[in-house]
Chains A and B, each alone.
Chain A
Amino acid sequence: MASNPMYQFNVYRIGPEIKIGSVDISFTNASLFMVISSLAILIIFNLGAKKKTLIPDKLQLLSELSYSFVAKMISDTAGSKAKPYFSFIFSLFMFVLFCNMFGMVPYAFTVTSHIIVTFVLAAFIFIGVTIIGFIKHGLGYLKLFVPSGVPMVLLPLIVVIEIISYLSRPISLSVRLFANMMAGHTMMKVFGGFVISLGIVGGWLPLSFSVALTGLEILVAFLQAYVFAILTCIYLNDALNLHH
């Protein structure tokens, strides 16, 4: 039923059913939009990087500005040691941003509104950052859970809190993005449904709401991608420069 505001999040198979053993890896609408987002990123940035003119044209300027934007974000939050991870954070930011933005197209599917996608990304980041931390600092990385300058009495409590907060990082990171995207799209769907059900007489109020929400959601789409990337940088900073 199309009027259900959760209907837009349904995943369905496109094309034949593909199975490896008993595992279903069929191409779905979610996969389609992942492919579209990735292709869009590759096409735009490839075009932007192809021309090597001294004075950049629009696409070149776009790609170069994105490059410097992400580079500045990383160097501001994680320092110069995080440079080898630039390409990963750049890909992550662009992927999340493009998935969010493609979700704003009417009738499109929002990849990042699925907890499993965001959780896989967040878990990958979490595991990767933890591995980097242990490689760089050995067991000294565990000092992250023992902040300096805390009274001995409070130390056990603080350590427990730190460990819980560290372990909840992938959950908070994934749920933040997923919940924001889902809530925004649900709200827009609900207000869109009001426009139809209230008709020409009373539909103007939810319509104006819808218009305002669209603007807000585009902002949220960018902001959440930015937050996702900058939190990754902050976690990376913890692993690279042990400040605690």
Chain B
Amino acid sequence: MLKKIVILLFVTCFACFNTVFAAESGGMPQLNPEFWISQIFWLIITFGILFIVLTKVILPKISDNLETRKSQILENIETADKQKEESQKKIDEYEKIILDSKLKAKSYFNEAREKILDDINKKRAALEKDLDEEISEVEKELSDLKQKSGEKINKIAAETSAELIKELIGEEVNSSSIAAIVEDQSKINRERKDV
């Protein structure tokens, strides 16, 4: 069915084509020389004017435009590169500064620590010295006191015992013998204590 319609269409097309060309008369107007000169004349005028105006006015403008754009783009790229370099330089500087300051801070810290440690050591040494002196003084005093106290006790014991004996017996005893006895006794006591 579809095939038949298509075939029918083509047949009618062909028929129409024939009738259309049958109606043609006189052939191609292009080969009629009546207006050839006129066409050549107007072609030369229009194309000539077009060519001259394009060459003298319009094309230089367009080419200028393109050139300026190109150079501007190149310039911009150049400036961008330069700025990039500069910023890179600045970044380097900045990093250097940071590194330097870090090192400086470290050295300051170390210095301060050493100073403080020195101070502490000095003060401690002085303090220890003072302490040692005081201790030795006190020890000396103590040992003096010990020695003196033994003698004094002996003396007092001798005196008291002389007094006691005097009171008890009513007679004076030779003080040197009493002292000898006290000496003996204290010796014994000391030995006992030592034991």
Chain A residues within CB distance 8 Å of chain B:
1, 3-7, 9-11, 13, 23-28, 30-31, 34-35, 37-38, 41-42, 45-46, 48-50, 52, 54, 56, 60, 63-64, 67-68, 86-88, 90-91, 94-95, 111, 113-117, 120-121, 178, 182, 190, 193-194, 197-198, 202, 205-206
Contacts and interface: CB of A to CB of B under 8 A. Distances in A.
B49 A38 contact: yes
A64 B16 contact: no
A5 B22 CA distance: 11
Contact of A50 (B16, B27, B34, B61): B61
Contacts, number: 157
Contacts of B13: 194, 198, 205-206
Given A28-B39, A67-B59, A198-B12, A87 B20 contact: no
A52 B20 contact: no
Contacts of A37: 46
Contacts of B36: 116
Contacts of B65: 49, 52, 56, 60, 64
Nearest to B42: A31
A61 B82 CA distance: 30
A36 to B, nearest CB: 9
Given A91-B47, A198-B12, 11 more contacts: A9-B30, A25-B42, A30-B38, A34-B42, A38-B50, A45-B62, A182-B28, A190-B20, A197-B16, A202-B9, A202-B12
B54 A63 contact: no
A173 to B, nearest CB: 15
Contacts of B147: none
Interface stretch (B66-74, B85-93, B113-121): B66-74
Given A91-B55, A193-B16, A202-B9, A34 B30 contact: no
A4 B68 CA distance: 54
A3 B20 contact: yes
27 contacts: A1-B23, A5-B24, A6-B27, A11-B35, A11-B39, A28-B42, A38-B50, A41-B54, A52-B61, A52-B65, A64-B62, A67-B62, A67-B63, A88-B55, A90-B54, A91-B51, A94-B54, A95-B50, A113-B30, A115-B31, A117-B40, A120-B43, A121-B47, A190-B17, A193-B20, A197-B20, A198-B16
